[in-house]
Chains A and B, each alone.
Chain A
Amino acid sequence: AQSVTQLDSHVSVSEGTPVLLRCNYSSSYSPSLFWYVQHPNKGLQLLLKYTSAATLVKGINGFEAEFKKSETSFHLTKPSAHMSDAAEYFCVVSPMNTGFQKLVFGTGTRLLVSP
């Protein structure tokens, strides 16, 4: 079975400071891992994905995430927050070695960015 835990429901940062959104996962199979972002009144947009090619994954808008198997973590980071980063972020896990692409979503982390 797969599950995802996003450790913070809300994270507040100031513009220009680093962002860290934490995610731990559990998976019976080698996982694919994703981070999606949802801006207000918008659909979900893929930020980045891990599919075993490299443990450090770079995504759009300066975000990156590191897959750490020993810690079962896939934390999302950005060196310097921008006001436009304010949104809700979802960590998602999916078993890589099955034909059905069932995604298991975390409960989301709302990122607040202050001037």
Chain B
Amino acid sequence: DADVTQTPRNRITKTGKRIMLECSQTKGHDRMYWYRQDPGLGLRLIYYSFDVKDINKGEISDGYSVSRQAQAKFSLSLESAIPNQTALYFCATSDAGTPSSYNEQFFGPGTRLTVL
């Protein structure tokens, strides 16, 4: 079974609609992240969370919000979707517990979102 899962895997929506992307993990990691991937731009960080009560903006948080419902769940919302939010979205986790795992992140399979 996958350690980091994302739902839905694909979504097509219209401009102005509210969308929620969900991420769950069974790795027991404290830290979770949301990224978006655009062709030719690599991955960019949207939000990150060190634990349930600690949520931080990344480099491109405008137009997005997040919720950390539990250690294992981290949701990304687009309150009013716009076409330039069309992208591939990745959730990731990491463990801050040991030096050998320091900085390594584990990624989910991605959600492909299209906003018409």
A76 vs B28: C-alpha distance in the bound complex, in angstroms? Answer: 31
Q: Among the listed stretches B14-22, B64-72, B75-83, B102-110, which one makes contact with chain A, having 4 or more residues with CB under 8 Å of it?
A: B102-110
Cβ < 8 Å to B, chain A residues 24-42: 32, 34, 36, 41-42
Q: In whole Å, how far is A61's beta carbon from the nearest beta carbon of chain B?
A: 17
Secondary structure at the A interface, as helix, strand, loop or mixed, is loop
A-B pairs with beta carbons under 8 A, tally:
53
A102 vs B57: C-alpha distance in the bound complex, in angstroms? Answer: 12
**B116 interfacial by beta-carbon distance below 8 Å:** no
Known: A42-B109, A43-B4, A43-B90. A96 touches B42 (CB 8 A): no
B104/A43 in contact, CB under 8 A: no
Known: A90-B43, A107-B41. A43 touches B110 (CB 8 A): yes
